[in-house]
């Protein structure tokens, strides 16, 4: 039976891992390669490297880090941030990424999903969606959660998977950084229409939140988090042990 | 020395890095002489079967592999590389494979309820051994490895080494003579994957 995945996300700026609360107040955490190795040894099933650099120098630094990480850890690596063209896919895949996640780039140019899926396969394209409740529905937000696009998140995800997205990361802005648990309502709505794996993001504050997630929503394939892992509030080995104890199938 | 065949399919950086990590000398190449002088050969692959098979045959790499297999050189096909070892595939039409493994490649979607089992199968799944193999000498039944695939090897009972459960017993590894194939990615399967590659690198 396929296992539920635990995925730490490393936001990288100028060669360092950072994490903000509700995307504001960014705080330095640690060295990306060291942290990647630590997580891999702790039983992380996959890693996400998110490039939040805007400058060309920062971007070059990011790809250097990616190369080093791919030489050091041998679990799947997903890269996101600043992916706007098929050339951007090419750039990070050559540096050792296995999957590439698109967010704002796909909002600006929805054809990016199909173009990349045709070239690299569906399994390579991850559609990452930042969504927030607006007037009783879920809206897609762009630019790191700052701009309401007015697009309905459920429709956007349907369209994304039709275009060839092989996985969906749903990050609820409403619960992100709050540490009160995943957004089960929003995730449930996405699971109802999802034909590809769904990765839950935003809101995990303790081990029980992951147990609750996988128990409440069996269609969720993976849980993603950042700061709770970086700050040692949740230890991955312990998390997986607890999930296993609760009858959730994980790789130990 | 291990030669990883470069025939223009996919990204070989991780594969190369994983061999380097276990201390194995590795060359990524499409040079026939280098491949034939290697102790063993890895056939990688991602993407569509038809495109990859076409590249393999047109580049002459198919003939090189056949010659190497006839000489008893260990060959390891990974993911699509494993599927290419089969006689044929039904991925978007019907395509000829290398024919080292008796059987054909078919869509997972034909075998499972896709509202329960999502396509592609992405993630870590446990191995169940069907036959002992030197490839598994350092790992245990139940160990998890990383899969990403929408098609599977079918009708290959004779060559089957291991399966994994995804609505049915999905072919996870095969062998025939010195030719081996894994549907999963050892280079992305952490310590278990490194142990499989190490076992392969001890074959001569």
A251 belongs to a structural domain: no
Expressed as residue numbers, the domain containing A93 is: 5-245
Chain B residues whose CB is inside 8 A of the A120 CB are 46-47
pLDDT (tens digit, 9 = 90+) per residue, A193-233?
999 999 999 999 999 999 999 999 999 999 999 889 888 88
- pLDDT confidence band for A55 (50 / 70 / 90): confident
Cis peptide before B57 (omega within 30 of 0): no
User: For chains A and B, what is the number of CB pairs under 8 angstroms?
Assistant: 86
Contact B114 A2 (CB under 8 A): no
What CATH number corresponds to the domain at position A148?
3.20.20.70
Q: How many CA atoms lie within 13 A of A22 on its CB side?
A: 5
A250 belongs to a structural domain: no
- pLDDT confidence band for A52 (50 / 70 / 90): confident
Contact B125 A75 (CB under 8 A): no
Closest CB from B48, B114, B125 relative to A3 = B125
| Lowest pLDDT segment from A55-59, A144-148, B166-170 | A55-59
Q: A228, A221, A220: which is closest to A203 by C-alpha?
A: A228
Calculate the average pLDDT of chain A: 91
Total domains in chain A come to 1
pLDDT (tens digit, 9 = 90+) per residue, B142-197?
999 999 999 999 999 999 999 999 999 999 999 999 999 999 999 999 999 999 99
How much of chain A exceeds pLDDT 90, in percent?
A: 75
**Cα B86 to Cα B99: distance, rounded to the nearest angstrom:** 5
Is CATH 3.30.70.370 the classification given to domain B2-201?
A: no
The answer to whether residue A4 scores a pLDDT higher than 80 is: yes
| Cβ B109 vs Cβ B119: under 8 Å | yes
- Catalytic residue check, A130: yes
Give the residue numbers in B contacting A (CB under 8 Å), as ranges: 11, 13-14, 17-18, 20-21, 46-48, 114, 118-126, 144, 146-150, 165-166, 187-190, 193-194
The answer to whether residue A87 scores a pLDDT higher than 60 is: yes
- pLDDT confidence band for A25 (50 / 70 / 90): very low
Low-confidence residues of chain B, pLDDT below 50?
none
Q: A3, A142, A194, A38: which is closest to B114 by C-alpha?
A: A194
Residue B81's pLDDT is what?
A: 96
A167 belongs to a structural domain: yes
ipTM of the complex: 0.93
The answer to whether residue A239 scores a pLDDT higher than 50 is: yes
Q: Inter-axis angle of helices B13-21 and B190-201, to 10 degrees?
A: 70
Chain A residues whose CB is inside 8 A of the B44 CB are none
User: Any idea of the CA torsion for A222, A182, A54, A143, to the nearest 10 degrees?
Assistant: 120
Specify burial of residue B132 (Cβ count, 10 A radius: 0-12, 13-18, 19+): exposed
Chain A residues whose CB is inside 8 A of the B45 CB are none
Specify burial of residue B141 (Cβ count, 10 A radius: 0-12, 13-18, 19+): exposed
Chain B residues whose CB is inside 8 A of the A75 CB are 146, 188-190
Residue A19's pLDDT is what?
A: 61
Residue A24's pLDDT is what?
A: 39
| Domain spans in chain B, listed from the N-terminal domain onward | 2-201
Query: What average pLDDT score do residues A113-139 get?
Result: 94
Q: A202, A250, A237: which is closest to A40 by C-alpha?
A: A237
- pLDDT confidence band for A174 (50 / 70 / 90): very high
Task: Tell me the helices (H) and strands (E) count for chain B, helix number first.
Answer: 6, 14
Which of B124, B142, B193 is best to mutate for the A interface (most A CBs within 10 A)? B124
Contact B144 A1 (CB under 8 A): no
A107 belongs to a structural domain: yes
Chain A residues whose CB is inside 8 A of the B11 CB are 93-94, 96
Contact A5 B121 (CB under 8 A): no
A47 belongs to a structural domain: yes
Which of A5, A74, A89 is best to mutate for the B interface (most B CBs within 10 A)? A74
A69 belongs to a structural domain: yes
Residue A17's pLDDT is what?
A: 84
pTM for the whole thing? Answer: 0.94
């Amino acid at each position: 039976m396929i296992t539920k995945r635990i995925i730490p996300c490393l936001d990288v700026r100028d060669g360092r891992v950072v994490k903000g609360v509700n995307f504001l107040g960014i705080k330095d955490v640690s060295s990306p390669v060291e942290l990647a190795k630590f997580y891999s040894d702790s039983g992380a099933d996959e890693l996400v490297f998110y490039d939040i650099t805007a400058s060309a120098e920062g971007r070059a630094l990011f790809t250097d880090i990616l190369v080093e990480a791919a030489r050091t850890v041998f679990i799947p690596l997903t890269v996101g941030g600043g992916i706007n063209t098929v050339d951007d896919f090419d750039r990070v895949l050559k540096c050792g990424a296995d999957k590439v996640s698109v967010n704002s780039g796909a909002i600006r140019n929805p054809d990016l999903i199909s173009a990349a899926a045709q070239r690299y396969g569906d399994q390579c394209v991850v559609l990452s969606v930042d969504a927030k409740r607006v007037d009783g529905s879920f809206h897609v937000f762009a630019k790191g959660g700052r701009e309401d696009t007015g697009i309905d998140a459920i429709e956007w995800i349907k369209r994304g998977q039709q275009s060839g997205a092989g996985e969906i990361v749903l990050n609820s802005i409403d619960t992100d950084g709050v540490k009160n648990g995943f957004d089960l309502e929003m995730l449930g709505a996405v699971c109802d229409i999802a034909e590809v794996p769904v990765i839950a993001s935003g809101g995990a504050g303790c081990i029980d939140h992951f147990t609750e997630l996988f128990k409440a929503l069996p269609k969720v394939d993976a849980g993603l988090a950042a700061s709770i892992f970086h700050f040692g509030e949740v230890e991955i080995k312990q998390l997986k042990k607890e999930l296993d104890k609760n009858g959730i199938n994980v790789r130990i | 020395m291990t030669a990883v065949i470069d025939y223009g399919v996919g990204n070989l950086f991780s594969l190369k890095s994983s061999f380097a990590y276990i201390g194995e000398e590795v060359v990524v190449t499409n040079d026939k002489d280098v491949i034939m002088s290697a102790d063993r050969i890895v056939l990688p692959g991602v993407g569509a079967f038809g495109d990859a098979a076409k590249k393999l045959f047109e580049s002459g790499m198919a003939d090189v592999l056949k010659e190497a297999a006839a000489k008893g050189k260990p060959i390891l096909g990974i993911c699509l590389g494993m599927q290419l070892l089969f006689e044929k595939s039904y991925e978007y039409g019907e395509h000829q494979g290398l024919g080292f493994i008796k059987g054909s490649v078919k869509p997972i979607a034909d075998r499972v309820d896709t509202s329960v089992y999502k396509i592609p199968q992405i993630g870590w799944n446990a191995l169940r051994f069907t036959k002992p193999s030197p490839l598994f000498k350092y790992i245990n039944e139940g160990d998890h490895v990383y899969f990403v695939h929408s098609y599977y090897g079918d009708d290959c009972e004779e060559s089957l080494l291991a399966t994994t459960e995804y609505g049915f017993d999905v072919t996870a590894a095969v062998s025939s003579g010195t030719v081996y194939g894994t549907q999963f990615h050892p280079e992305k399967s952490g310590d278990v994957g490194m142990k499989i590659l190490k076992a392969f690198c001890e074959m001569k």
